[in-house]
Structure 1
Amino acid sequence: MPLIVAQGTADCGGTRWFDLADSVTGAVRRVFLWIPPGTPPETGWRALWLLDGNAVIGTAVDAMRAQAFWPEGTDIGWGALIAIGYPTSDAYDPFRRSWDLGPPPGRSYPPFHEGGAEVRTGGGGEMARFMLEDVRVFLADHVRLDPERQSLFGHSFGGLFTLWLMFTRPDAFRTWIAASPAITWEDSFLQRHLEEFQPAGRALTVHLSAGEWEGSELAPFQRDRADAAERLAQKEQTRTVAAAREMAASLTCLGLRAGFEIYPDETHMSVLPMAVNRAVRCAFSLGGDMPGRWK
């Protein structure tokens, strides 16, 4: 059982947070929990798990509260929100995020700032165990969840982690939502996982997405800047839109309900609120026909 180091209430719709010490490493991460009003269904609440919890929990809670009360007009039902972040008031902890969301084997990179520590990736296995073991054990005492109706959302590095976890633990979630995933990160090692992936008949749903300006063109406000050529060269390497579209096609060929969606006039970071709202819809849609609407 993970140790509760601290707990409190976040300023977003009654969300609670708990700082939990990893039962193996002792690393402390913040778990945000929002539970719908009323009595849960007999099978438990459907749940949406979100990575980069500090940055996205407020948006996710607002999206739920604004839409789930009117299912006839939104097709969204109530469900629980679980977001994994860190004990900080900032939206991100870049150093810890690099380790936690970087799938193994990982690499080492120069410090983010002069005098800082070496940045490492490859700790995704620790993060996965924390989520799937420590956090799930902890949540059993706080909320009843439907084990068959759980979804995972990640953006950028979080999208990379989401796809990697699906390839290595397809039993962990039923719906996988990867926004602007860093598929080509570290020499596109994720492609090897795709080639070896065997969904074994599991009824998984996968939603991939990216912003329009994550493709081969710069956003209008970037085109006249001094670093325009450098940004274009970087786009040729990351291939965010093309790689996500190709991944969706490959997963469809494997028999998964997979689709790709592009968000007009959005960049890698501005896309986040739209992607979180779409994650809510993917996780809590009452009709269950989302893939047919994706582009």
Structure 2
Amino acid sequence: MTPLAEGGPDHAGTRWFDLADSATGAARRIFLWAPPGAAPERGWPALWLLDGNAVIGTAVDALRAQASWPAGTNIGPGALVAVGYPTDEAYDPFRRSWDLGPPPGRSYPPFHPGGPEVRTGGGAEMARFLLEDARALVAARLPLDPGRQALFGHSFGGLFALWLLFTRPGAFRDWIAASPAITWEESFLLDHLARFDPAGHAPRVHLSAGEWEGAELAPFQRDAPDAGERLARKARERTVAAALEMAGALAALGLETASEIYPDETHMSVLPVAVNRAIRWTFALDRAA
């Protein structure tokens, strides 16, 4: 596929491509990084990351630093593919609400006065772009091992990753959902879990959250004017409890599953920690370890 625009290499060799969705025409940015040298015979193992603008720099630095000393890290080389948007900001909140919100979705008030109505429910559109358009663009530029590909998502991205696992379990081998918004929109994701059939696939799933996504506020939040509102929201979202319950449910179905609660991390501070764990989960040389 021909991109609308492209740039790089920058940041240790990262390239980017703005690609129009073949069905809707909406542009998304794909960041691509691979180690120097020839790819293995089967192609590079690859970690795909949602919210690409926010995570690609962290992922590149973490992988290239650790893969350079495999005896000390158990991490081998691989490729990174991150999907985001044509912006210099870390996020495009309006676009990601639509793209990472699985269907059917709902409508919400604008983020800012006078702004457009916020909609969720475009996950099927994003899934098609990810699995068809983005994969075609990457395949034309970099050989990837089809049997060693992983998907990472945080927050709404974690919700999207779990929904895609339940609807397309063979799309990736490894699935990493950090702080997934499992209870979003009345926990509709649990209906997908109830119908989930791995259909002969053997996905590996890693779920995580930060310590301060549980029932308690982080120390620096406890005396804030909105502390009561934050506590009420935590009670509704149940991020830690829902992630652990999901891990238990998937393990009961026979999936290889791991769960972690990262100490002293909030919903946003957990992001670089979770990205690093996704790298370990994806590129481990001794998988049994």
TM-score band w.r.t. shorter chain: over 0.9
Identity %: 73
Q: Which amino acid aligns with 1:16?
A: R
Using the alignment, how far apart are the partners of 2:13 and 2:53 within structure 1?
A: 15
Question: Aligned residue for 1:107?
Answer: 106
Using the alignment, how far apart are the partners of 2:49 and 2:288 within structure 1?
A: 22
Trace 1:91-240 onto structure 2 (pairs within 5 A): 91-240=90-239
Using the alignment, how far apart are the partners of 2:129 and 2:201 within structure 1?
A: 24
Using the alignment, how far apart are the partners of 1:11 and 1:112 within structure 2?
A: 32
Using the alignment, how far apart are the partners of 2:109 and 2:149 within structure 1?
A: 37
Using the alignment, how far apart are the partners of 1:81 and 1:289 within structure 2?
A: 23
Using the alignment, how far apart are the partners of 1:86 and 1:124 within structure 2?
A: 15
Q: Does 1:41 align with 2:40?
A: yes
Deviation of 1:69 (Å) = 1.1
Unaligned runs of 5+ in 2: none
Using the alignment, how far apart are the partners of 1:42 and 1:16 within structure 2?
A: 23
Question: Aligned residue for 2:251?
Answer: 252
RMSD: 0.8
Question: Aligned residue for 2:262?
Answer: 263
User: 1:59-109: CA deviations, max 9, x gaps?
Assistant: 000001110011111000000000000000000000000000000000000
Deviation of 1:10 (Å) = 5.8
Relative to structure 1, is the Cα distance of residues 10 and 232 closer, same or farther in structure 2, using a 3 angstrom cutoff? farther
Using the alignment, how far apart are the partners of 2:71 and 2:58 within structure 1?
A: 22
Q: Secondary structure at the match of 1:4?
A: coil
Q: Which amino acid aligns with 1:21?
A: A
Q: Which amino acid aligns with 2:29?
A: R
Using the alignment, how far apart are the partners of 1:262 and 1:153 within structure 2?
A: 16
My pick for the range that moved more, 165-174 or 133-142, is: 133-142
Question: Aligned residue for 1:293?
Answer: none
Q: How many correspondences in the alignment?
A: 289
Q: Secondary structure at the match of 1:164?
A: helix
Using the alignment, how far apart are the partners of 1:233 and 1:267 within structure 2?
A: 16
Deviation of 1:226 (Å) = 1.1
Q: Which amino acid aligns with 1:260?
A: S
User: 1:114-146: CA deviations, max 9, x gaps?
Assistant: 000000000000100001001111112100000
My pick for the range that moved more, 35-44 or 79-88, is: 35-44
Using the alignment, how far apart are the partners of 1:254 and 1:202 within structure 2?
A: 12
Q: Secondary structure at the match of 2:147?
A: strand
Unaligned runs of 5+ in 1: 291-295
Q: Which amino acid aligns with 1:4?
A: P
Q: Which amino acid aligns with 2:222?
A: R
Using the alignment, how far apart are the partners of 1:90 and 1:56 within structure 2?
A: 11
Using the alignment, how far apart are the partners of 1:102 and 1:10 within structure 2?
A: 31
Deviation of 1:200 (Å) = 2.5
Deviation of 1:203 (Å) = 1.7
Using the alignment, how far apart are the partners of 2:84 and 2:265 within structure 1?
A: 24
Using the alignment, how far apart are the partners of 1:261 and 1:277 within structure 2?
A: 13
Using the alignment, how far apart are the partners of 1:200 and 1:118 within structure 2?
A: 38
Using the alignment, how far apart are the partners of 1:100 and 1:225 within structure 2?
A: 33
Q: Which amino acid aligns with 1:19?
A: D
Q: Which amino acid aligns with 1:201?
A: G
Q: Secondary structure at the match of 1:49?
A: strand
Question: Aligned residue for 2:23?
Answer: 24
| Structure 1 consecutive aligned stretches of length 4 or more whose deviation exceeds 3 Å | none
Question: Aligned residue for 1:15?
Answer: 14
Using the alignment, how far apart are the partners of 1:67 and 1:60 within structure 2?
A: 11
Q: Which amino acid aligns with 2:126?
A: M
Deviation of 1:194 (Å) = 0.3
Question: Aligned residue for 1:283?
Answer: 282
